A and B are shown apart, each in its own frame.
Chain A
Amino acid sequence: MQWLNAVIQGILLGGLYALLAAGLSLMFGVMRIVNLAHGVLAIVAAYIGFVFVNNLGVPWYLAIIIVIPIMAVVGYALQWGLFNRALTKGGLAPLLVAFGLAVVLTQLLQEIFTADNRRIDTGTLATDSIQVTDTIYLGLLPVMTFVVAVLVIAGLQLFLNHTPLGRAMRAASDDPDTVKLMGIDNRQVYALSTALALATVGLAGLFIGMKTQFSPTYGDLVLIFAFEAVIIGGLGSLWGTLAGGMVLGIAQAVGAQINPSYGLLIGNLVFLAILAFRPQGLFPKAVTT
């Protein structure tokens, strides 16, 4: 029963990882940008949520509604201000810009909020749970996070497949020059992609901030989990990313069941095993271009 419980908790945790990873996957998919600032941007959202909830007394669910558009605007501005320029330089420029951004944001958070651990106050939400059997309890927050993650990923996939902007994003990913010949400004498509990516990672950041203690450097760990979920699932597929998040979550939860200190270790080992034996990931994109 403990093992079943571990797997279930792992699946729920995997939802959060997938939500974290979706934006990373989207930015790489559309622009081939490896956004090394992805993790710290999640934490930036957590701090903004912290200010609204803990300092200004805004209820957590309202904070979510406020922080998501803020992060989207931040993403839009970052793309026009930094990444679109970096992309014209080609090569390593976007990667270096993202790395620089991560360093600067982390320092900025240290400066403003100090290195102390924080947590977004959600009252009893963090401890409430649903009893399933005598021994299995599901935390309300993890369940909520999981449901939201699945909805967001399904929504993103529908958006990419069936809307004009989603189509433009996939077309720009295939061939940014030809997209211009269709009357589409690829830089604008990129800016909207990054806005979308940061909206989702902002949401993930808020859930992290409600679930655990975080500090300015917590973004490093978040970035690693997001990367692992993307790679395990296979690049370019959001459903793959969801599966990748779950595999990582299950590995960590089962590892922790063996020995509480093994959680991260087992997660990383599973990631390395996938990298070694199935480098294309579990569910790679059908079309390789």
Chain B
Amino acid sequence: MTLLSITSIDVHYGDFQAIYSLDLHVDEGETLAVIGANGAGKSTLLKTIAGLLRPTSGDIVFDGLNISATPPYRRVPLGIALTPEGRKIFPSLTVEENLKVGAHVKRPGPWTLAAIYDAFPLVADRRHRLGVNLSGGEQQATAIARALMSNPRLLLLDEVSLGLAPVVVEQIYDTLPAITGQGTTVLIVEQDVNLAMKFADRVQCLLEGKSVLEGVPADLTRDQIATAYFGI
């Protein structure tokens, strides 16, 4: 079943067009990775799905409901959660308070504080620390945990690996199976193509705001991806 279906959306920042007539879909339970170079429009796409940006044309349909004009805070109760680029942990709140704010919309589901602390030992260790005092990896883990607290059906992850040491990236990616294992659909944006190919069921590549390649990792060749990624 298709959980999210996007048809020919255009997204603008003022006069600047960041996304051109983009089509994308995510099936229930699958993990889709969106890859692309800097400025390709990946974060713009996620912000549009979460509702922080509105498409200037085209439709976003989530679970059969057209949400193109739905404000972001009404998309969370529907089951959409975004871990934004830059993590955006609330700095003056403790880790635990960040998680509780994430649970402001109480959708029923497997993710409770206890379940989070079980699955993310790093977060559990730091629960009483203020957001402002977290390392990059701790922030990223907290941001993912915070998004999970709303028990989303669709989890949007933006650049989980950015600026983190490889060991930490591995630690964080190791929690992905625990998330998808609950049946959560994941749309992940990743610059590291190898990571994306390893963890995703399907990848889609953006180039300058357009979708240029889409397929199952096993079916795609290195050359195809390089061409789509760099546009050469």
A209 and B13 CA atoms in complex are apart in Å by 52
User: Which residues of chain A from 173 to 190 have a CB within 8 Å of any chain B CB?
Assistant: 173-175, 177-186
Interface size class of B (residues with CB under 8 A): 20 to 34
Contact A183/B91 with A167-B100, A177-B52 known, Cβ cut-off 8 Å: no
Nearest CB of chain A from residue B133's CB, rounded to whole Å: 9
The verdict on A164 contacting chain B, using a C-beta distance below 8 Å, is yes
On whether the beta carbons of B132 and A287 are closer than 8 Å, the reply is yes
CB distance from B130 to the nearest CB of A (A): 6
Decide if A173 touches B104 in the complex (CB within 8 Å): no
CB pair A174 B93 closer than 8 Å: yes
| Contact A171 to B90, CB < 8 A, known contacts A181-B52, A183-B76, A183-B105 | yes
**Assuming A170-B92, A171-B90, is B150 touching A183 (CB within 8 A)?**
yes
Q: Report the minimum CB–CB distance from B34 to chain A (whole Å).
A: 18
The reply to whether B130 and A287 form a contact with Cβ atoms under 8 Å apart is: yes
Tell me whether B73 is interfacial, beta carbon within 8 Å: yes
Which residues of chain A come closer than 8 Å to B132, judged between CB atoms?
A: 287, 289
Q: CB distance A183 to B73 under 8 Å? A: yes
Q: Are A167 and B82 in contact (CB under 8 A)?
A: no
Q: Is the CB of B81 within 8 A of A174?
A: no
What separation, in Å, do the CA atoms of A244 and B51 have in the docked complex? 42
Apart from A178-B90, A181-B84, A182-B105, what are 17 other A-B pairs with CB-CB below 8 Å? Answer: A167-B93, A167-B97, A168-B101, A168-B104, A170-B90, A174-B93, A178-B84, A178-B88, A179-B101, A181-B88, A182-B101, A183-B74, A183-B77, A185-B71, A186-B73, A287-B132, A289-B132
Hey, which bits of chain B sit against chain A, CB under 8 A?
50-52, 71-74, 76-77, 81-82, 84, 88, 90-93, 97-98, 100-102, 104-105, 130-132, 146-147, 150
Q: Which residues of A contact B (CB under 8 A)?
A: 164, 167-168, 170-171, 173-175, 177-186, 285, 287, 289
Q: Which 6 A-B pairs have the closest CB atoms?
A: A183-B76, A183-B105, A180-B72, A287-B92, A178-B88, A174-B90
